[in-house]
Amino acid sequence: MYNQKVLDAFANPQNVGVIENADGEGTVGNATCGDIMKITLKIENDKIVDAKFQTFGCAAAIATSSTATQMIIGMTVDEALQVTNAKVVEYLEGLPPQKIHCSVLAEEAIKKAIEDYRAKQQNKSVDKTSIEYV
């Protein structure tokens, strides 16, 4: 059912875990497989310096999130937002059609984590401003 590249990524997933004090965090789920995906990001100056994932997902969810986290480390947050599930699937040289939806999890979790990061950044700058004007 899976090609060798997907099987390798599933058998030896990279970046598994949770980053303590993450700058951004996103959790998404899909009802079809019951997959749940949590992505945590360490971001410095808008650049992703570390990314980890945790999933109760199927083999496709694990392979695609391992690949997606590898792809976004070293990218700016804007670049990471361009990493679509199609690009991850292309990198893995294809997924069975019924498993494509699993690859969407990583993309959505990354987007959510970046949104979370941006919201936190805004809060920080608001706090700063209020301190400056007190």
How many alpha carbons lie under 13 Å from residue 78 in its C-beta half-sphere? 2
Q: Does 22 bind Zn ion (CB under 5 A)?
A: no
Sheet arrangement for strand 47-55: 24-29, 36-44, 47-55
Q: Does 33 bind Zn ion (CB under 5 A)?
A: yes
In 3D space, the residue among 89, 118, 119 whose CA is nearest the CA of residue 103 turns out to be: 89
Question: At 96, phi and psi to the nearest 5?
Answer: -60, 140
Q: Does 92 bind Zn ion (CB under 5 A)?
A: no
| Minimal distance, residue 44 CB to Zn ion, in Å | 32
Name the residue nearer to Zn ion (CB basis): 48 or 102. 102
Looking only at the bridges linking them, the beta strands covering 24-29 and 47-55 are: unpaired
Taking the CB of residue 2, how many other CB atoms lie within 10 A of it? 17
CA distance 114 to 106: 12
| Minimal distance, residue 89 CB to Zn ion, in Å | 13
Name the residue nearer to Zn ion (CB basis): 31 or 134. 31
**Near Zn ion by CB under 5 A: residue from 73, 80, 102, 106:** 102
Active site residue ranges: 33, 102
Among 14-22, 44-52, 85-93, 96-104, the segment contacting Zn ion (CB under 5 A): 96-104
**Near Zn ion by CB under 5 A: residue from 22, 24, 35, 41:** 35
Which residues would be at the binding site for Zn ion (CB under 5 A)?
A: 33, 35, 58, 61, 102
